[in-house]
């Protein structure tokens, strides 16, 4: 089955698996949004030379969301076959924390090195999360589940029938 | 004397797209073919584009598959139909940051990209919203935003704030805030180069999907019906209507001069041919001395 499956949670009967899917999606979506949010801040910092982004409320919001995500990760109880997910998400979160730390160091007129450092950490986090993608349980780098015209393959019946923990590489 | 040639190049399409997403309120009225295109503007020593499409790999492919997009071809293949290479393109105007417009920047290694600063700033804001509000993020690929960081680092991303006059000679950018997206923009080509141009073309981005959005029943003259907004507005339908009216007035009420790239009926409006990949090349206008590439 392709890894690139529509973004919908599987309806596997095991309640523990369902709980895991919901909890993992929450953490995954938060990390995905943080990567996008911080990347956007880096664009603005560079496009408007000298912009001081460290003091923007967006940075404080990102930090708060990062803490929420860490709490969600700590509560994650993966079922058999998904034990590596939490470690992978934690690694991504660690890179995002480092990116946040770098962004708070961005100062007008000497932003180059810190932006490069933050960008490198965000790329590493993104790569880490790409490796964890499993669209059967809603772990994807894009979310089109509410798109206005998600009429293509969204309702491919296979997403409902593939159990959590099974191979996603076949 | 026309300074620029303009071609609309189809790079993929959705065979059956819900009409209600294209023309507001047309529920249960079936489907339309939705071409996915970008536009090339060539002349005055420049090769410019409006939008770059998406890259049919990784997560761009996920989004495209979700929407049922098919027949994708790379910019190298598509641009070759008009004798160009991606490396020839020096300026790219991004109408908005949705994946099918901003999703293939890496294919154009020598271009400078122009986007409204508001488009980036408001997506940053939207990404900070709680998960229950994620609807506002539809069409956005985080990977595209990351690639924007690289462009900015290389000084190839210009975040503009509002309208820009003569971004290239005779070409203006117009902001349309809080319409289809937070920071959409449209492009005006004054093809005779005059300030009071009598030869204006408007490249509408996604502010217009199809003729109905322009109040155009097919005649291409002054609007003969009311403007009906597109089905998707992250901003407001009212702002969309206002932006459409600005565009229509910019072309002197001649609606055929407002180019909606998702409109299959462009085939009946401008000379065109179909490539061996089944994709349309529409020739909107030709610069002085430029031979037709579709006849």
Asked if residue A28 lies in contact with residue A89, where contact means CB atoms within 8 angstroms, the answer is yes
| Domain residue limits, chain A | 15-161
- At residue A160, the pLDDT reads 35
- The answer to whether B66 touches B155, Cβ cutoff 8 Å, is no
Of the candidates B49, B40, B32, B37, the one whose C-alpha atom is nearest the C-alpha of residue B10 is B37
Substitution target in B33, B71, B128, B232 with the highest count of A β-carbons within 10 Å is: B128
Alpha-carbon distance values, B73 to B56, B77, B78 (Å): 8, 6, 6
Residue B252 vs residue A155, higher pLDDT: B252
Residue A65 is encoded by which pair of tokens? Answer: 């969301």
Q: Rounded distance, CA A106 to CA A34, Å?
A: 18
Identify all chain A residues contacting B262, using CB atoms and an 8 Å cutoff: none
pLDDT at A4 over 70: no
Contact residues for B150 (Cβ-Cβ < 8 A; gap 6+): A119
The minimal CB distance from B134 to the residues A41, A143, A149 is found for: A143
Using CB atoms, pick whichever of A6, A30, A43 lies closest to residue B148. Answer: A43
Architecture of domain B4-285: 4-Layer Sandwich (3.60)
Residues of B in contact with A31 (CB under 8 A): none
- Say how many CB pairs under 8 Å bridge A and B: 146
Check CB contact under 8 Å for A39 and B142: yes
Any B CB within 8 A of A47 CB: yes
Is A6 at the interface with chain B, CB within 8 A? yes
Listed as ranges, residues in chain B with pLDDT below 70 are none
8 A C-beta contact, residue A125 and residue A95: yes
A62 interfacial to chain B (CB closer than 8 Å) = yes
Residue A49: which pLDDT band, with cuts at 50, 70 and 90? low
Would you say B16 and B220 are in contact if contact means Cβ atoms under 8 Å apart? Answer: no
Q: pTM for the full model?
A: 0.90
Residue B162 has a pLDDT of: 98
Taking CA–CA distances from B19, the nearest residue in chain A reads A149
Q: Which of A7, A30, A39 has its CB closest to that of B145?
A: A39
Q: How much is the pLDDT for B91?
A: 98
Average pLDDT, chain A: 75
* A153/B65 CB distance under 8 A: yes
In this complex, is the C-beta atom of A122 within 8 Å of any C-beta atom belonging to chain B?
yes
Chain B partners within 8 Å of A146 (Cβ): 134-135, 138
| Cβ-contact A108, A52 below 8 angstroms | yes
Residue A63's closest chain B neighbor by CA? B128
Q: Give the integer Cα–Cα distance in Å for B203 and B206.
A: 9
A9-13, A57-61, A69-73, B207-211: least confident range:
A9-13
pLDDT level of residue A145 (50, 70, 90 thresholds): low
Mean pLDDT check: name the lowest of A103-107, A122-126, A157-161, B272-276. Answer: A157-161
Q: Chain A: residue nearest B146 by CA?
A: A39
Please give the Cα distance from A45 to A86 (Å, whole number). Answer: 32
Above 70 in pLDDT, residue A11? no
Give domain limits for chain B: 4-285
Residues of B with CB below 8 A from A36's CB? 123-124, 127, 140, 142, 145-146
Query: Taking CB atoms and an 8 Å limit, are B65 and A37 in contact across chains?
Result: no
Whether B269 contacts B284, CB under 8 Å: no
Fold held by A15-161: 1.20.120
Q: What is the 3 state secondary structure string of chain A?
A: CCCCCCCCECCCCCHHHHHHHHHHHHHHHHHHHHHHHHHHHHHHHHHCCCCCCCCCHHHHHHHHHHHHHHHHHHCCCCCCCCHHHHHHHHHHHHHHHHHHHHHCCCCCCCCHHHHHHHHHHHHHHHHHHHHHCECCECECCCCCCCCCCCCCCCCCHHHHCCCCCCCCCC
pLDDT higher than 70, residue A124: yes
Q: Does A87 touch chain B (CB under 8 A)?
A: no
Q: Which residues of A touch B63 (CB under 8 A)?
A: 142, 144
Q: From the list A4, A34, A126, which residue is nearest B143 (CB)? A: A126
Give the pLDDT confidence of A70-116 residue by residue, as tens digits.
999 998 888 887 888 889 999 999 999 999 999 988 876 667 788 89
């Amino acid at each position: 089955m392709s890894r690139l499956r529509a973004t919908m949670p599987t309806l596997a009967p095991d309640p523990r698996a369902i709980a895991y899917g919901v909890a993992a999606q929450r953490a995954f979506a938060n990390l995905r949004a943080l990567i996008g949010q911080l990347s956007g801040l880096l664009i603005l910092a560079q496009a408007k030379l000298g912009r001081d982004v460290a003091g923007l409320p967006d940075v404080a919001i990102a930090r708060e969301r990062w803490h929420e995500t860490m709490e969600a990760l700590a509560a994650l109880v993966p079922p058999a076959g998904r034990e590596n997910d939490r470690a992978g998400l934690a690694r991504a979160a660690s890179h995002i924390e480092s990116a946040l730390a770098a962004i708070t160091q961005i100062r007008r007129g000497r932003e180059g090195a810190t932006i490069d450092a933050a960008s490198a950490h965000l790329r590493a986090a993104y790569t880490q999360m790409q490796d964890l993608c499993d669209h059967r349980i809603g772990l994807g780098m894009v979310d089109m589940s509410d798109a206005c015209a998600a009429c293509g393959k969204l309702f491919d019946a296979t997403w409902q029938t593939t159990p959590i923990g099974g191979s996603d590489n076949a | 004397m026309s300074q620029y040639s303009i071609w609309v190049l189809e790079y993929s399409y959705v065979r059956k797209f819900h009409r209600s997403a294209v023309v507001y309120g047309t529920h249960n009225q079936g489907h339309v073919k939705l071409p996915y295109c970008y536009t090339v503007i060539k002349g005055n020593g420049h090769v410019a584009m409006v939008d770059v499409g998406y890259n049919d790999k990784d997560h761009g492919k996920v989004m495209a598959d979700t929407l049922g997009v098919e027949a994708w071809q790379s910019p190298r293949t598509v641009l070759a139909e008009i004798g160009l290479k991606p490396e020839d393109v020096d300026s790219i105007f991004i109408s908005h940051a949705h994946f099918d417009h901003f999703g293939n920047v890496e294919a154009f290694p020598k271009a400078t990209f122009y986007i409204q600063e508001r488009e980036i700033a408001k997506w940053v804001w939207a990404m900070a919203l709680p998960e229950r509000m994620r609807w506002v993020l539809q069409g956005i690929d985080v990977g595209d935003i990351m690639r924007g960081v690289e462009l900015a680092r290389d000084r190839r991303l210009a975040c503009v704030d509002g309208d820009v006059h003569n971004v290239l000679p005779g070409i203006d950018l117009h902001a349309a805030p809080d319409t289809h997206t937070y920071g959409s923009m449209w492009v005006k080509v004054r093809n005779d180069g005059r300030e009071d141009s009598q030869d204006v073309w408007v490249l509408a981005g996604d502010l217009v999907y199809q003729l109905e959005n322009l109040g155009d029943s097919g005649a291409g003259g002054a609007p003969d019906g009311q403007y009906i907004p597109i089905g998707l507005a992250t901003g407001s339908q009212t702002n969309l209507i206002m932006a459409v009216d600005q565009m229509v007035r910019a072309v002197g009420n001649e609606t055929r001069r407002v180019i909606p790239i998702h409109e299959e009926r462009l085939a009946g409006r401008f000379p065109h041919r179909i490539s061996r990949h089944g994709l349309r090349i529409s020739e909107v206008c030709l610069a002085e001395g430029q031979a037709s590439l579709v006849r």
